[in-house]
Amino acid sequence: MPPSAPPTARLLIACPDARGIVATVAGFVAEHRGNLLESEQHTDTEHGEFFMRAEFEVAGCDLTRGNFADVWGPVAERLGMNWRVYWSEDVKRVAIMVSKAAHCLHDLIWRWEAGELNVEIAAVISNHDTLRRAAEHAGLPFHHCPIEPGRKTLQEQQVRAILNDARCDFVVLARYMQILSPEFLAGYEQRVINIHHSFLPAFAGGDPYRQAYDRGVKIIGATSHYVTEVLDAGPIIAQEVVDVSHRHTVADLRRKGRDLERMVLARAVRAHVEDRILASNGKTVVFS
């Protein structure tokens, strides 16, 4: 958050659709002398669900992190809401996990240094030592956690210990070319963001650019999604495509794809950091 920006609270809501929810939220904020800055909502008519993100200034407001649950709780319970609130002064701590490909890590570091991503990069973790210099040049702690044959469980335990010690709020897989176990993901639901070098659900799994080339597709894409136990099947946050033709080689597809991967991953990370994502029924609502 820029130093001049006033502190805010971000309230995220998911509940059964009903009349008057927007008015209820706006009235609640006004009643407690908050200044509503942004309000976005979406109704999923297929499932009868309502989603909302409301951001309001807390200066001059009598709502605090200490009393918010007690004051808002009865309203939320009456409307059957699942909700959570975030305070802008709490800068999220992220761990970036990488393998050998450098482009996504470099892009995230650049955006962080430029002030585009309001996060604290608490750790860079890799199963290879290749990108140590990139991380340390930016002043970031680098952890080399190699995977030895038959010892992947121990490696994941080592990584989890690093995440715990660094007090990481979420994890970004910036082309970390390993499948994470259900045991590793436990407790990190909707807090691990991956970039897949394909327009999912097409060409899941390994070497999607080769798969795309072999099928002669006319567009390729990149997909950022939350990681679940099912490979490349988590709720999608952001996607982008670019045109290709019969003239492009596999190397051309990979080159074009790297540009998409950087952009799509950054978009997804920013949406997560700004608390703009709600997930339900295997999909996401991403507010602008």
CATH of the domain at 122: 3.40.50.170
221: in domain: yes
Query: Looking at the chain, how many residues does it have?
Result: 288
Whole-number average pLDDT of the chain: 94
Residue 4 confidence (pLDDT) = 63
Q: How confident is the model at residue 1 (pLDDT cuts 50, 70, 90)?
A: very low
Please give the residue that has the higher pLDDT: either 187 or 144: 144
Same-domain status, 101 and 80: no
CB 256 within 8 A of CB 240: no
Name the percent of the chain lying above pLDDT 90: 87
Average pLDDT over residues 33-56: 96
Total domain count, the chain? 2
How deeply is 146 buried, as exposed, middle or buried, from its count of CB atoms within 10 A (0-12, 13-18, 19+)? Answer: exposed
Domain carrying residue 21? 8-87
Catalytic-labelled residue, pool 232, 252, 259, 275: 232
Residue 3 confidence (pLDDT) = 52
Give the long-range contacts of residues 25-33, CB within 8 A, separation 24 or more: 25/52, 25/54, 26/54, 28/72, 28/75, 29/54, 29/56, 29/61, 32/61, 32/62, 32/63, 32/71, 33/60, 33/61, 33/62
248: in domain: yes
Average pLDDT over residues 157-184: 96
Average pLDDT over residues 45-51: 95
Same-domain status, 99 and 77: no
- Is 50 exceeded by the pLDDT of residue 122? yes
232 is catalytic: yes
CB 254 within 8 A of CB 274: no
Q: Which tokens go with 180?
A: 């994470």
- Is 80 exceeded by the pLDDT of residue 5? no
Q: How confident is the model at residue 202 (pLDDT cuts 50, 70, 90)?
A: confident
Place of tokens 């604290």: 120
Sequence-ordered list of residues with C-beta below 8 angstroms from that of 242, at least 6 positions apart, any chain: 219, 220, 221, 256, 259, 260
Same-domain status, 26 and 118: no
Same-domain status, 76 and 107: no
Same-domain status, 138 and 272: yes
Name the percent of the chain lying above pLDDT 70: 99
User: At which of 35, 61, 87 does a domain end?
Assistant: 87
How many other CB atoms are found less than 10 A from the CB of residue 83? 18
User: At which of 55, 87, 119 does a domain end?
Assistant: 87
* Biggest CA-to-CA distance, the chain: 63
Same-domain status, 155 and 268: yes
CB 43 within 8 A of CB 92: no
Q: How far apart are the C-alpha atoms of 109 and 112, rounded to whole Å?
A: 5
Residue 197 confidence (pLDDT) = 82
Residue 6 confidence (pLDDT) = 86
Same-domain status, 96 and 82: no
Q: Which tokens go with 112?
A: 């962080």
3: in domain: no
- Is 50 exceeded by the pLDDT of residue 2? no
Q: How far apart are the C-alpha atoms of 40 and 287, rounded to whole Å?
A: 7
The kind and range of the H/E element at 208 are: helix 208-215
How many other CB atoms are found less than 10 A from the CB of residue 288? 7
